[in-house]
Amino acid sequence: MPRHTLPADGSAPGGPYRVLGGMSVAVKVPAARTEGQLLIVENTNPRTGGPPRHLHHAQEEWFYAVEGAYVIEIGDERYELGPGDSLLAPRKMPHVWAHVGDGTGRLLIAFRPAGSMEAFFAGLARLDGGSPREEVQGLFREHGMEVTGPPLLVE
């Protein structure tokens, strides 16, 4: 199998995706390279905030903080992550995260198995920031996830 290398600011074909009001998702290890067993993306967030609380029916989601400060809630537990910290959200467990620090935040996020997460990010990038909540929730459902609450409030 040929090697898969990307420069620091690179993304596999199709990305990076601009999602959720300015965040960028760059595909670092595409699902096709792992026969669908793994997807790794880099999420770059130039401001505070994150996605709505949600769960994955079929994937674990692993977070590794590269830069910035994050708050992640998994179920009823709240965690604070800084550079070098990591955390696993088990499948079927509601979770939510937000960049809460100054400057730009960067997370590496791994999904196992990959499922249709790449298609999800592509679909999310096609939605504009003013898309109806039902349309966003439908996209989550279409890709094996469920929105279970709002994004974290960041002060």
Region 128-152: mean pLDDT is 87
Decide if 37 is inside a domain.
Answer: yes
% of residues, the chain, pLDDT over 70: 87
Decide if 28 is inside a domain.
Answer: yes
Decide if 51 is inside a domain.
Answer: yes
Decide if 80 is inside a domain.
Answer: yes
Give the structural domain span for 79. Answer: 24-62+71-87
Decide if 29 is inside a domain.
Answer: yes
Count helices and strands in the chain by DSSP H and E runs: 2, 11
Burial of 84 (0-12, 13-18, 19+ CB in 10 A): exposed
pTM summary value? 0.89
Distance from C-alpha of 122 to C-alpha of 32, rounded to nearest angstrom: 15
Our count of domains for the chain comes to 1
Kindly report, residue by residue over 4-57, the tens digit of the pLDDT.
Answer: 555 566 555 566 788 877 889 999 999 999 999 999 999 999 999 999 999 999
Q: Identify the band that residue 129 occupies on the pLDDT scale cut at 50, 70 and 90.
A: low
Average pLDDT, the chain: 89
Decide if 43 is inside a domain.
Answer: yes
Decide if 109 is inside a domain.
Answer: no
Of the candidates 3, 106, 112, 95, which has an alpha carbon nearest to the alpha carbon of residue 54?
95
Report yes or no: 24 and 43 within 8 Å, Cβ to Cβ.
yes
Distance from C-alpha of 144 to C-alpha of 142, rounded to nearest angstrom: 6
Q: Identify the band that residue 3 occupies on the pLDDT scale cut at 50, 70 and 90.
A: low
Task: Determine the 3-state secondary structure of 129 from DSSP.
Answer: coil
Residue 114 has pLDDT above 90, yes or no: yes
Decide if 41 is inside a domain.
Answer: yes
